[in-house]
Amino acid sequence: MPTLAIDGRTLHYQDRGAGDTLLLLHGFPMHGESFWPQLDHPPQGARLLVPDHRGFGESSPGIGPLLMDDVARDALALLDALAIDRALVGGVSMGGYATMALLRLAPERVRGLALIGTHARPDDAAGKAKREATARETEEQGIEPLVRSMFPSMLSPGAPEAVRERLSGILLATEPAAAASAARGMALRPDSRATLADYRGPSLVVHGALDAIVPVDRGRELAQLLRQHDGHCEYQELATGHLANLEAPEVCRAAFERLRQHAEAGES
């Protein structure tokens, strides 16, 4: 498995397929393997890059809260190391927050944007307090209570048993310290609505109508923000739960391919 050394840490990533780079950032509290349908069957014409965020999967941990800017900076370092100037960039849920951070930090590196099961607003005071409670509980009791509380909300009732089992294994393998640091980091993320409203390139928003973690009106809001300018935005509202990439991989794959084509057409 390829790795990259950044500031004395090891960033593990997966690199599949060939063509235009599609960088995908994973959600919480998972690791890159949570994109298994995409990794097994990359979109046509795309090279898929999927890093494990600091402390997750096989990547070494950072120090303190995992800021969304930290995830974005590691992703940019990966693009630099592979001499990739611009990429299609996307993420699921927390990975979407990190995608918006990357767009804020380095808009010139983004050829197209893919946001799945995510939203642009910051946490309110109650949300921040809940993150801190989650972080403490996870540090004290391990990952199981967090997985027990989140798992029922991650997939729709109709999700296949094989998907449930594989996802559950990924969640339960997460290091409690990584989950705690990401919970604290998500609480510190800024409002990204203006960043999206300023973006003019092609984009894709996929949201599960049955998402029990990020309500579907937040996905619709993303599409509205991205449609304020002339840039192309495809909005797909699917009969899935939070993790549409796991429940509707073929629809996502086709949508990634259209995003790639729109990016290419916009540059020619």
Q: Which residues bind ligand MLT (CB under 6 A)?
A: 27-28, 93-94, 186, 213
Pick left, alpha or beta for residue 55 (phi over 0 → left; psi -120 to 50 → alpha; otherwise beta). left
Cβ contact 203:226 at 8 Å: yes
Cβ-in-10-Å burial (0-12, 13-18, 19+) of 106 comes to: middle
Tokens linked to 68: 């969304």
**Closest CB to ligand MLT among residues 185, 202:** 185
**Closest CB to ligand MLT among residues 75, 263:** 75
**Closest CB to ligand MLT among residues 189, 232:** 189
Cβ-in-10-Å burial (0-12, 13-18, 19+) of 208 comes to: buried
Question: Residue 257 Cβ, how far from ligand MLT at the closest point, in Å?
Answer: 24
Question: Residue 93 Cβ, how far from ligand MLT at the closest point, in Å?
Answer: 3
Tokens linked to 126: 């109650």
Question: Residue 14 Cβ, how far from ligand MLT at the closest point, in Å?
Answer: 18
Question: Residue 213 Cβ, how far from ligand MLT at the closest point, in Å?
Answer: 5
Question: Residue 150 Cβ, how far from ligand MLT at the closest point, in Å?
Answer: 7
What is the C-alpha to C-alpha distance for residues 116 and 104, in angstroms, rounded to an integer? 18
**Closest CB to ligand MLT among residues 28, 235:** 28
Q: Which of 157, 154, 138 is nearest to 146 (CA)?
A: 138
**Closest CB to ligand MLT among residues 94, 246:** 94
